[in-house]
Amino acid sequence: MRPTRKPRSSPSKVLPKALSGIQGFDEITAGGLPSGRPTLVSGGAGSGKTLFGLEFLVRGATQFHEPGVFMSFEETVPDLTKNAASLGFDLSRLVAEKKLFLDHVHISRSEIAETGEYDLDGLFIRIADAVQRVGARRIVLDTIETLFGALPNPAILRAEIRRLFSWLKDKGLTTIVTAERDRPEKLTRHGIEEFVSDCVIVLDHRTREEISTRRLRVVKYRGSTHGTNEYPFLIDEHGISVLPISSLGLDHPAPTARISTGITRLDGMMGGKGFFRGSSILMSGTSGTGKTSVAAHFVDAACRRGERCLYFAFEESPRQVVRNMRSIGIDLEPWLSKGLLQFHAARPTYAGIEEVLLVTHKHIARFSPHIVVVDPITNLLTVSTLNEVRSMLTRLIDFLKTKEITALFASLTAAGGFLEANEADISSLMDTWLLLKAIEVGGERNRALYVLKSRGMDHSNQIREFVLTDHGLRLLDVYLGPDGVLTGSARVSQEGREKAAGTTRRQQLEGRGRELDRKRQIFEARMTMLRAEFEVEEEVIQQTIAESKLLDKELLHDRGQMVRSREADVTAYTNGKPTHAARRR
């Protein structure tokens, strides 16, 4: 699939090539068309042959200094100019600058009668004249087979066309010969491929399941390696793009900056910092697992940081997303009106996959967002096969990575199937893979999230339950029970049990506290009583003491008086207080 450039050891051995300038084409042919030789571009009606030829000439004239001649056997010059304008090519300017020469060869069978031998010298002379006028290096003959319908005697015609091709080769003109392919088993209607042996390209515009896709295939390229796949291609106002972005190498930058997922605990699950900037994140889950909600958180967080977000909604309309996200407390409306958030909503079925890819690229190029959300990529499978989606995503991711845009891809997994199997292909392109899972336990369905992989960072290996609340998404620990993780009411009942046990303990504790209080109260009451008793006793005792003191005093007094009256030796009666009595003396 990936052509490698031939080593240029000796230039004479390498087939010289002329860059077509057609985006992506030169990559798959490793350098363009065989230089100085004819190439057959075959395809059904409306497959883009003429435009292919035109772009080859225009690019040659504008980018590679190779003027060209367009010999049209079908469309008139004004028609051609008009058609080219739709691809953004200004043919009349190139003609005026003598970089391009347009000639319309018109022959109507009704005007022609054959009256003997003829040759195509008239055409040769016209071509030679045109080539000489602009110094052409490239020429397109679109569609020379028309001559078979206009001129009699096919035998002469075939010989003359053979002569024409060898003449073009002699002149060293890089030639594109277009041919109508009306039956799949034949390359051209009149078998002119036998004259063009070097390079054959088939363009195809087919409809499968009501969706049309343009494809290009290099059927043959003598002396050169080339991609043999069928490559989808697009025609838009910038011309043809085969594989719109085909970076065949893997040399995009790898920023180390991290950005929040918008969900704190999810950041926590990824080393506390969130995603790498510029990484690609796959978020897969069955329907109703909350993919859009996770995406909305991510977008909301990015807009809060002032970053631009581009949201490709392939399933819901922008209004619907905004309304639904409001129910979990995320208001995206301000970001929309500020221009930080842009929605692009369309059902991919409106066009083929390459159209979707083109539109995606165009929007990204125009808005240059920091963050891109594609919700969901699985809807692309409805327009294409897994292989095509994979190759489209490869190109899209390559493109995003070179621009350092962080991309979140939601992927809807088929319910009931083994979740990972479906996306195994896609997942290898992704740096981080979040898996949203519905866990069915005890007759209910709950949401769980885990990080399946995340390149280049620590990440939690735990399954987290998450609930959508009015205030956004909340991640919860899951309880591990004997039957595995517990979610939903199993978790709630486990929580309940723990709560009940807690309550009992608390009640016991409270009871003990109250008992202590009571005891303290009793103790204090007793203390009060004792103190009261003591005080009563103290009072009584004090009184007794005071009374007895008084009595003593009176007794002494009386005795003194008696002594005085008896004039007895006082000291004999003052044993207790001799000084007192003596001093008084």
Reduced to 3 states (helix: H, G, I; strand: E, B; else coil), residue 466 is strand
| Peptide bond just before 376 cis, omega within 30 deg | yes
**Interacting span for another protein (CB under 8 A) from 47-55, 87-95, 103-111, 218-226:** 103-111
Give the strand pairing for 138-142 and 174-180: parallel
Candidates 119-127, 289-297, 374-382, 575-583; binding stretch for another protein (CB under 8 A): 119-127
Instruction: Give the per-residue contact string, 142-171, with another protein (x = CB under 8 A; - = no).
Output: -----x--xx--------------------
Stretch that binds another protein, among 40-48, 112-120, 492-500, 520-528 (CB under 8 A): 112-120
- The dihedral sign for the CA sequence 318, 323, 328, 330: positive
- Pick the binder of another protein from 14, 128, 346, 452 (CB under 8 A): 128
Side-chain half-sphere exposure of 7, counting CA atoms within 13 A = 1
* Interface size with another protein, residues (CB under 8 A): 25
Residues in region 204-243 near another protein by CB under 8 A: none
Q: Is 115 in the site for another protein (CB under 8 A)?
A: yes
Q: Check residue 70 and report its DSSP letter.
A: E
d(CA 111, CA 127): 22
Q: Between 150 and 556, whose beta carbon lies closer to another protein?
A: 150
Question: Shortest approach of another protein to residue 92 CB, angstroms?
Answer: 17
C-beta of 103 vs 230, nearer to another protein? 103
Q: Among 6, 35, 126, 180, which residue interacts with another protein (rule: CB under 8 A)? A: 126
315 annotated active-site: yes
CA distances (Å), origin 169, targets 17, 165, 174: 14, 6, 8
Shortest distance (Å) from residue 76 CB to another protein: 11
User: Quick check: 111 binds another protein (CB under 8 A)?
Assistant: yes
If the CB atoms of residues 1 and 113 are measured against another protein, the closer one turns out to be 113
> Counting contacts by CB under 8 A, is residue 251 touching another protein?
no
Residue span binding another protein (CB under 8 A) among the ranges 99-107, 201-209, 231-239, 373-381: 99-107
Provide the phi-psi class of 452: left if phi over 0, else alpha when psi is between -120 and 50, else beta.
alpha
Listing DSSP states for 264-305 in one string gives HHHHHHTTTT-EETT-EEEEEE-TTSSHHHHHHHHHHHHHHT
Q: Which is nearer to another protein, 119 or 477 (CB)?
A: 119
Based on the number of CB atoms within 10 Å of its own CB, is 243 exposed (0-12), middle (13-18) or buried (19 or more)? buried
Which of 9, 10, 12, 110 binds another protein (CB under 8 A)? It is 110
- Minimum distance between the CB of residue 144 and another protein, rounded to whole angstroms? 11
Whether residue 138 contacts residue 59, with contact meaning beta carbons closer than 8 Å, is answered with no
Among 112, 421, 501, 516, binds another protein (CB under 8 A): 112
DSSP state string for 316-341: S-HHHHHHHHHTTT---HHHHHHTSE
Cβ closest to another protein, residue 116 vs residue 443: 116
Q: How is residue 413 annotated by DSSP?
A: P
* Nearest approach, Cβ of residue 176 and another protein (Å): 19
Cβ distance 73 to 143 under 8 Å?
Answer: yes
For another protein, give the closer residue by CB, 116 or 416: 116
Residues 6+ apart with CB under 8 A from 381: 389
Rounded least distance, CB 363 to another protein, Å: 45
List of long-range contacts for 462-466, beta carbons under 8 Å, 24+ apart: 462/269, 463/437, 464/265, 464/269, 465/439, 465/491, 466/290
Least distance (Å) from another protein to the CB of residue 157? Answer: 9
Q: Is the dihedral of CA 116, 117, 121, 126 positive or negative?
A: positive
Question: What count of other Cβ atoms lies within 10 Å of the Cβ of residue 8?
Answer: 8
Q: What is the H or E stretch that residue 505 is in?
A: helix 488-566
Q: Which C-beta is closer to another protein: that of 95 or that of 151?
A: 151
Nearer to another protein, 126 or 326 (CB): 126
| Choice between 57 and 147, CB closer to another protein | 147
Least Cβ distance, residue 105 to another protein (angstroms):
6
Binder of another protein out of 79, 97, 119, 477 (CB under 8 A)? 119
Catalytic residue among 180, 230, 315, 495: 315
Q: For the CB of residue 163, give the shortest distance to another protein in the complex, in Å.
A: 13
Smallest gap from residue 128 Cβ to another protein (A): 7
Q: Which bin fits 3, alpha (ψ -120 to 50), beta or left (φ > 0)?
A: beta
117 near another protein, judged by CB under 8 A:
yes
Catalytically active residues, by annotation: 74, 315
The residues of the shown chain that bind another protein, judged by CB under 8 A, are 103, 105-107, 110-123, 125-126, 128-129, 147, 150-151
